[in-house]
Amino acid sequence: MKHTAAAGYGGPLEAVGFVLLGLILAGCTAPLETPLDAAPGVAGRSAQAPPGREGDRMRMVERQLLTRDITDPRVVRAMRRVPRERFVPPDQRQRAYEDRPLPIGYRQTISQPYIVAYMTQALRLTPDAKVLEVGTGSGYQAAVLAELAAAVYSIEIITQLAERARDTLAELGYANVQVRQGDGYAGWPEQAPFDAIMVTAAPDHVPQPLVDQLAVGGRLIIPVGQNRQTLTILTRTEDGVEQDTTLPVLFVPMTGEAERR
């Protein structure tokens, strides 16, 4: 498996560049307060690419995903469909298909395309799945999940990001995504159980409420750790929980309740 690291988290790692011995750097905290602009969307479940970037998107899939370990055809198809440039601020649009995370404002990031695809693939979603995402950010990951699942519930702690993601997803016609502003540590109990849960901010432990909201047979993927993390996959069984660890990654920290525990 070939892992090429993307850009960093905070100043020092940003300067290190793209190749860091297999460490996948999925987040960074470059401050950016630029709002997304709002091109008109299309109706329906799936997004439609504005002209001009489809070639970039196909190349991103070919070079960044298919040359690595993204093999699930449904995930590949979803990554070919979602217009990533619509989820980044205008001054980042040219870079939308680069092999790295990008700043989205409020010291948060949209994750590297490979990490989005990797985490999505790890959930093994079926078309009837009900999915919870913690850390909506730009809404891009939620859109990819929405291409593959029946319903996506996504929680974002920063009000402005939650509102912006909600608008972008609505403009693009993703009627099967609900975005809520709040602390995702507690999950979304009213909608539980979930067939899959994805956490895209890093706590130093797995929040128990999320484990409790996983259906039997369901999978939870989460970066766990303080400065650097390990992507951890939990599978709920009849008897308890099985845990597996995969990639080393670098995500922005989970804030709120996770920091107090």
Chain positions contacting ligand SAM, by CB under 6 A: 27, 108-111, 134-135, 137-138, 140-141, 155-158, 161, 183-185, 200-201, 251-252, 254-256, 258
| Residue 225 CB, nearest approach to ligand SAM (Å) | 14
The one catalytic residue in 46, 111, 138, 154 is 111
User: In this complex, which beta carbon is closest to ligand SAM, that of residue 109 or of residue 176?
Assistant: 109
- Three-state DSSP at 197 gives strand
Angle between helix 140-148 and 159-171 (nearest 10): 50
Smallest distance, Å, CB 66 to ligand SAM? 21
For residue 174, how far is the Cα from the chain centroid? 16
Q: In the complex, what is the shortest distance from the CB of residue 183 to ligand SAM, in angstroms, rounded to a whole number?
A: 4
Active-site residue flag, 111: yes
Closer by beta carbon to ligand SAM, 20 or else 140: 140
- Name the minimum Å distance from CB 240 to ligand SAM: 25
- Residue nearer to ligand SAM on the CB measure, 58 or 106: 106
Please identify, using beta-carbon distances, which residue of 36 and 110 lies nearer to ligand SAM. 110
Least separation in angstroms between CB 114 and ligand SAM: 13
Q: For residues 119 and 69, what is the distance between their CA atoms, to the nearest angstrom? A: 11
Q: Which residue number, 156 or 195, has a Cβ lying nearer to ligand SAM?
A: 156
- Could you give the residue numbers annotated as active site? 111
